[in-house]
């Protein structure tokens, strides 16, 4: 029975107080990360009623010669307007409420500067207050930022304009604007001012910064205009729709635990627009990018830092990537063997098992270059101590030597976290090589290596050096996304600034020691930040073994490639299927074609991925697709070097090759594999055909030789379960496959000519040991093509044909 009690006024007041308290707690729970290492979304701070906002209002002073000056910021706060049972918050200028009122700037005048980096690149820097911190190394940048003198000042009544051969930037005095234009004078984007939003009833926060009521910390909101029909691409390995317009992304390295969500193992604070510009947010703090999600016409870049440092780029997508990677670094080409098949599962657990797998791969004629040892090569599974288990790997040196003699390289898993039962845990804590909390204790259960500490890097690299000297060829750089946000790091900063840099430091530590010991540019990493592309390569995390997982993985790879990462891979078949019975063979086969037509190809996951586990018919199909990758190795290797030189991804969105074609900007389930091959994976169960968009021009079906014109076509796959099309005018160099890349015969190259509507064809070739690819050209005389240039006279026997598959 429920008893009803009449409340006294005092009881009513108490209940109301508690109700308000619980409501406040509920709101707080919604606005703060409820779980450890949940992504930090700073956008809530930019809409909080209690905070104070400073809106960039007008230029106070400006020196045209140094292109620097100060900007006056108008103090503002949110106000509530009520109308007919509806409340709406809107930003409005306010008077200061500081005391003493003559001791603090009501509307501060703060520094800003423009620097010219190249004819296509401009740097904008602003500060929200005095900067007294010690200088920090600019880890995201490859080296010193260059200066370009080609920009000329032009007179303009509204302010100051600087122009190069590629475009112009205008600083408008009042109301304050920074306007970016192309070489034809077309406005690409502009900062958003308070006055620009008077035509809407929707709340819009203009360009400026927030000062939090709770601690007076400050963060910038770099608000820029978005045009009708504008598309946005980038922000790292984002698995959501490729076009980010209308999305809200949180750039915070995150163990996404899959690919069918908004988390990112590899966020990158860079994006480009189809209007011909790109933006690099040079910051390591959490960043929330609102690409017209809250208000369709405004792009709000909410950056946690109290300084603003933006690089703006002008040009086509390829030109923008070239400029961006000149600053942050291009991906060096990994060794030839890394482009072969990597065979793995989670996990091989003994030397005898590894030897058996290697022997079976060779006896079944399955080409393979790498065997990966995941979490089970230690004495205790997952407990990383950099030592092969003496009970299960009794002779690791002999095993590595024997595998190398048979053409196999070995990759080994490890991670930067040490559980309390790990024998290295006490040493790490005692030597203070780990992240600490504000009291000096461990902020979490594990001991987490602090890569901002040079002593930690030295200790860690010494551990890896032993493995590399013993014969291990590559280190799997797993995890790295969970550096504590509230931790204190050896460089004196908190995780607010160090969390996103952690993968970059981690990637660098492994890459540097591998390069020193092995002389090769190779790691196998999951986490990344801007600049990590200098340390190839990265894979797409723990994808769901589903059709949606495969499609999302492709979107993530395309998105990461649009941020300067030339090399990328993914777990063929997905990671999550945990047994042969759970691994759908149809999905495995379709994913295999996608995987082998990627820069790097690894079979990995909870389920065994060795093809003989799935029957003789499947193994025959596996072998056919695997051999295709090896037969295409001359094309793959040349395209790898070309991509490295130009800062382009090997798996690239169509619009990188066809920027003038509107249709190419719409497609996120196809890709160019290098410059000449278009691949459309089969993304639905038991599908052997699909609708494919072909950019303008003639295209040849790689498997049948049939010719198609640009536009939408319904195409049927061949024995390779994917649609593979060749661009008109292409030379695709090929060779006979072998059991590993070391056995490939580079003295015999087949040049497949695909030029149904062109009298000439061209392609690239790059032999092992070379760094720069050489262009091959062929010309048609009568009914056949002949090679016009032989870059290796007497060294290679060329065979020319219409197509060679």
**Cα–Cα distance for residue pair 664/667, rounded to 1 Å:** 6
Spatial neighbors of 87 by CB under 8 A, at least 6 apart, are 80, 81
Catalytic-labelled residue, pool 351, 542, 626, 668: 542
List the one residue out of 411, 331, 339 whose CA is nearest residue 374.
Answer: 411
Q: Which DSSP state fits 144? A: P
Q: Which residues of 399-409 are buried (b: 16+ CB within 10 A; e: fewer)?
A: bbebbeeebbb
CA–CA separation, 386 and 640 (whole Å): 32
Please tell me the distance from the alpha carbon of residue 133 to that of residue 130, in angstroms, as a whole number: 9
CA-CA-CA-CA torsion sign (235, 238, 243, 247): negative
Label residues 309-321 b or e (16+ Cβ within 10 Å = b): bbbbbbbebbbbb
- Residues 597, 587: contact at Cβ < 8 Å? no
Whole-number Å distance between alpha carbons of 717 and 463: 48
- Torsion, Cα 504 509 514 520, to 10 degrees, reads 30
Coil, strand, or helix at residue 165?
coil
Which of 196, 322, 450, 481 does the annotation list as catalytic? 481
Task: Please state at what angle helix 351-363 crosses helix 396-405, rounded to 10 degrees.
Answer: 10
Give the SS3 label for residue 114.
strand
- How far is C-alpha 93 from the chain's CA centre? 39
Strands 677-681 and 722-727: antiparallel
Classified as helix, coil or strand, 733 is strand
Catalytic residue among 115, 290, 305, 478: 478
Q: Is the separation of the CB atoms in 566 and 598 below 8 Å?
A: no
**Is 542 an active-site residue?**
yes
Count CA atoms within 13 Å of residue 37 on its CB side.
19
Q: Coil, strand or helix: which one is 355?
A: helix
User: 3-state secondary structure string, 626-643?
Assistant: HHHHHHCHHHHHHHHHHH
As annotated, the active-site residues are 478, 481, 542
């Amino acid at each position: 029975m429920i008893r009803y009690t009449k409340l006294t006024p005092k009881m009513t007041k108490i209940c109301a107080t508690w109700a308000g308290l619980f409501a406040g707690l509920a709101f707080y729970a919604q606005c703060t990360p409820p779980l450890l290492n949940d992504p930090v979304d700073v956008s809530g701070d930019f809409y909080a009623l209690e905070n104070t906002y400073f809106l960039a209002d007008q230029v106070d002073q400006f020196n045209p010669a140094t292109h620097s000056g100060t900007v006056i910021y108008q103090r503002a706060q949110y106000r509530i307007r009520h109308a007919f049972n509806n409340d709406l918050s809107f930003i409005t200028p306010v008077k200061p409420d500081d005391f003493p009122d003559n001791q603090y700037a009501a509307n501060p005048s703060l520094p800003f500067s423009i620097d010219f980096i190249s004819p296509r690149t401009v740097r904008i820097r602003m500060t929200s207050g005095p900067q007294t911190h010690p200088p920090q190394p600019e880890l995201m940048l490859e080296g010193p930022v260059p200066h370009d003198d080609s920009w000329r000042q032009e007179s303009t009544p509204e302010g100051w304009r600087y122009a190069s051969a590629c475009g112009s930037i205008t600083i408008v005095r009042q109301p304050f604007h920074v306007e970016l234009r192309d070489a034809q004078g077309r406005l690409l984007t502009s900062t958003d001012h308070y006055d620009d939003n008077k035509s809407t009833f929707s709340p819009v926060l203009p360009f400026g910064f927030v000062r939090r009521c709770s601690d007076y910390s400050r963060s910038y909101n770099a608000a820029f205009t978005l045009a009708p029909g504008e598309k946005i691409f980038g922000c790292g390995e984002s698995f959501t729709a490729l076009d980010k317009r209308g999305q809200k992304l949180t750039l915070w390295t995150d163990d996404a635990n899959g690919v069918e969500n908004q988390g990112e193992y590899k966020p990158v604070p860079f994006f480009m627009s189809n209007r011909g510009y790109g933006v690099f947010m040079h910051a390591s703090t959490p960043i929330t990018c609102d690409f017209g999600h809250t208000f369709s016409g405004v792009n709000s870049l909410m950056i946690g830092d109290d300084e603003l440092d933006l690089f703006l780029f002008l040009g086509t997508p390829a030109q923008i990537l070239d400029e961006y990677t000149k600053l942050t670094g291009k991906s060096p080409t990994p060794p030839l063997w890394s482009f072969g098949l990597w065979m793995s599962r989670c996990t091989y657990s003994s030397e005898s098992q590894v030897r058996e797998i290697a022997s079976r791969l060779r006896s079944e004629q399955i080409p393979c270059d790498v065997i990966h040892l995941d979490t089970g090569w230690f004495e205790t599974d997952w407990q990383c101590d950099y030592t092969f288990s003496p009970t299960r790997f009794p002779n690791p040196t002999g095993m590595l030597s024997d595998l190398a003699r048979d053409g196999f390289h070995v990759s080994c898993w490890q991670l930067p976290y040490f559980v309390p039962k790990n024998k290295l845990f006490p040493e790490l804590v005692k030597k203070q090589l780990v992240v600490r909390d504000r009291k000096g204790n461990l902020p979490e259960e594990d001991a987490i290596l602090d890569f901002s500490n040079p002593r930690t890097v030295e200790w860690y690299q010494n551990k890896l050096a032993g493995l590399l000297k013993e014969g291990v060829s590559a280190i799997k750089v797993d995890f790295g996304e969970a550096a504590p946000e509230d931790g204190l790091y050896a460089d004196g900063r908190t995780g607010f600034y160090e969390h996103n840099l952690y993968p970059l430091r981690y990637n660098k530590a492994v890459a540097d020691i591998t390069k020193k010991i092995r002389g090769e540019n190779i790691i196998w990493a999951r986490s990344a930040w801007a600049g990590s592309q200098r340390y190839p390569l990265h894979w797409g995390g723990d994808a769901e073994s589903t059709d949606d997982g495969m499609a999302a993985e492709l979107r993530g790879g395309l998105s990461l490639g649009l941020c300067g990462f030339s090399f990328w891979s993914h777990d063929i078949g997905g990671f999550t299927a945990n047994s042969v019975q759970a691994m759908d063979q149809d999905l495995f086969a379709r994913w295999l074609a996608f995987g082998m037509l990627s820069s790097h190809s690894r079979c990995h996951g909870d389920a065994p991925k060795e093809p003989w586990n799935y029957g003789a018919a499947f193994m025959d199909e596996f072998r056919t697709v695997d051999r295709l990758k090896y037969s295409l190795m001359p094309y793959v290797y040349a395209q790898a070097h070309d991509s490295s030189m130009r800062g382009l991804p090997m798996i690239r969105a169509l619009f990188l090759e066809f920027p003038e074609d509107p249709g190419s900007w719409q497609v996120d389930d196809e890709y160019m594999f290098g410059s000449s091959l278009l691949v459309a994976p089969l993304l639905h169960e038991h599908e052997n055909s699909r609708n494919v968009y072909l950019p303008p021009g003639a295209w040849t079906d790689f498997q049948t030789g049939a010719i198609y014109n640009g536009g939408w076509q319904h195409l049927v796959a061949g024995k390779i379960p994917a649609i593979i099309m060749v661009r008109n005018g292409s030379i695709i160099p090929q060779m006979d496959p072998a059991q590993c890349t070391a056995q490939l015969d580079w003295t015999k190259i087949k040049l497949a000519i695909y030029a149904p509507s062109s009298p000439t064809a061209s392609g690239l070739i790059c032999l092992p040991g070379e760094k720069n690819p050489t262009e091959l050209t062929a010309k048609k005389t009568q009914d056949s093509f002949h090679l016009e240039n032989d870059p290796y006279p007497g060294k290679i026997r060329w065979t020319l044909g219409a197509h060679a598959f």
